[in-house]
Structure 1
């Protein structure tokens, strides 16, 4: 342990979205993947994207029949205001071409929206949900305010249905890593999606349901002060990080130390019943429940947050602390931890106060293999305090 105290405590910066604090500390993953074995350049033959045109009616039918998935319970869709939604509809009525959409095709022929989710969700809500959708508001050029789809003249309805959308379809033979990189390249419009939001859009229902059930646990919400349903899906990412390290282990990360790649691999594992049986999923969820229960038992309201000596206020959740301490505490018996709680807290706070290497490991370049390894070793060591 590096015992020389830092001259100045590193500033804790809370992430903000849409003007609101998110409760999660900004993370600097840095260039931790710089020493990942080179798997690029991609083979051009493996990158298969075709361009097609679909009528909006066709697209909406595909959504209704389930052959085009809009990534259910995606929170970011709620960010659009009524005026933004209405102006999208107005653009369609004015026959202003919309930016191209991107779909990922599955091996079974079904599609998932990987770019254009908010636009398609908005149009589907307006046209097909009708009374449950929204009424036009704040339109700039057309006098159709306060109207639902069914209130529009027939010629307007027909124009909406006949609108042609340009869709780039990513072939199912495209490797997952390539597909993820394609998404990151095109993810530039509006407010760009973060890494977990991208994974959510590109994953299957099984992984989404597993992560959703993990973050819906009372123990998780107690330990994180109610993070379930986080608008940027930071709750799902934290659950996924636990799953990745619990299922794959540190050796797997060290072999290819890049957090995005590691979490993509874990997501694919959660999606595949052959790679991860239902019994193993139950074991994962039980371990996660134990980790959350134990974290709150030991650290109470400061669980997964920086809490050096002398600090009394509660900092935002730190994802590096979450992954390392949840894994460290998961195997322990609660009665054992309760008897040693004071010693564990003292060891952890002392490390957060005076161990500069540890502070670096949970603050900057958090994906660096040496820093990941150090913070996991430190949490495991401190969890044994008082034994």
Structure 2
């Protein structure tokens, strides 16, 4: 197939419309429940009060703002792909924005700006100080301002909105790979995301996985759980289809969600808790730290997690029957295995490392000691 044929084939699977809509119309659509802007995303889209104020300023000064992208689902509801923070800021400013539990968020109080210093302390409707409220004229001007809207129609390829979300939210953003992946999970299956988020808060897991504050902020613990579950459920022979680990984790996460059965939640959570309770009781925060010269030292090792956590999880019924000292010794000898050393050498690509350590862990901890 030629390049032009590929372009024609792929572009024919994307159906979209473009509109200009007033902010007042968008407010009504949101209030009527015809738009899902994913308030859960507020955990990862971290706009400051200054950024929010600058958006309101841009609207009032008639400065163009980027288009909003939405995807229309089978029920006609608009699923916001790009523009969550812009829309939530607008809705918060006018006092209608609700969190994921349906509770109304406190209205936005503006800060002063270089162009509009009188913005300081202003609100859409200040109940205690009318002088700090937008006038009727200003409110009408705000609601009549228009925003470009791109609608990806329901007839499009189902994967389109995920691809679009990734491309729009990774190009110039500061979101980590896992933060984008979290948003994809929320868009695909809120229950699954909530399940992964709950596992990430497990006490035993957190005692064993000691990472930097920066990694915590980037939701790396959720990525580790995704890595573990993919290693457990994925057909590892398909890993060679990927050249990039981020792509593997993204696509296999969506695939895992599509194939996930409700009956699996309890079994997975049970094995997860047993795995990290065992590790916590034996090694605690040393569970994934290099062992050499008769002691654990250094920082948390992702490679050690991939092999040890996957191996113990997959063989937890057998491992639990072992003497704790034997388990500890087996974990410490793991670092001396040639397969581990070769997989973690500098220069080894991420996908082969993920593949090899996952398989090695399952086999190593599955063997009789």
Q: What is the TM-score when the length of structure 2 is the normalising length?
A: 0.78
**Does 2:114 align with 1:134?**
no
Match of 2:236 in 1: 250
1:144 alignment partner, one of 102, 119, 123: 119
1:90-138 per-residue CA deviation (whole Å, 9 max, x = no partner) reads 1111111111122222223222222222222222222225871331113
Does residue 328 of the first structure (1) align with residue 311 of the second (2)? yes
Deviates more, 1:181-190 or 1:96-105: 181-190
Which runs of structure 1 show a deviation greater than 6 angstroms over 4 or more consecutive aligned residues? 226-229
Worse-superposed segment, 293-302 or 203-212: 293-302
Matched, 1:315 2:290: no
Matches within 5 A, 1:12-91: 43-74=10-41, 75-77=43-45, 79-91=46-58
The residue correspondences of 1:145-294 to structure 2 (distance < 5 A) are 145-150=120-125, 151-187=133-169, 191-202=173-184, 203-204=187-188, 205-225=190-210, 230-254=216-240, 259-269=245-255, 271-272=257-258, 275-294=259-278
In structure 2, the partner of 1:6 is none
CA distance in 1, matches of 2:156, 2:283: 45
Which structure would you say has the larger RCO, counting Cα contacts within 8 Å and 6 or more residues apart? 1
- Per-residue CA deviations over 1:23-78 (Å, capped at 9, x if unaligned) read xxxxxxxxxxxxxxxxx76622112332222222332333344432223333223x
* Counterpart for residue 19 of structure 1: none
Aligned counterparts of 1:97 and 1:84: Cα–Cα separation in 2: 15
- Structure 1 residues 335 and 117, CA, compared in 2 at 3 Å: closer, same or farther? same
What is the CA–CA distance in structure 2 between the aligned matches of 1:263 and 1:355, rounded to whole Å?
A: 21
Q: 2:89 aligns with which of 119, 122, 138?
A: 122
Distance 1:190 1:138 in 2: 26
**1:366 and 2:341 matched:** no
**Which of 76, 84, 88 is 1:109 aligned to?**
76
How many residues are treated as equivalent by the alignment? 339
Runs of 5+ in structure 1 lacking a partner? 1-39
Tell me the CA shift for residue 264 of structure 1: 3.9
For 2:170 and 2:264, the matched residues in 1 are separated by: 37
* TM-score normalised over the length of structure 1: 0.75
CA-atom RMSD, angstroms? Answer: 3.3
Give the distance between the partners of 1:262 and 1:338, measured in 2 at CA.
35
How much does 1:82 deviate?
1.7
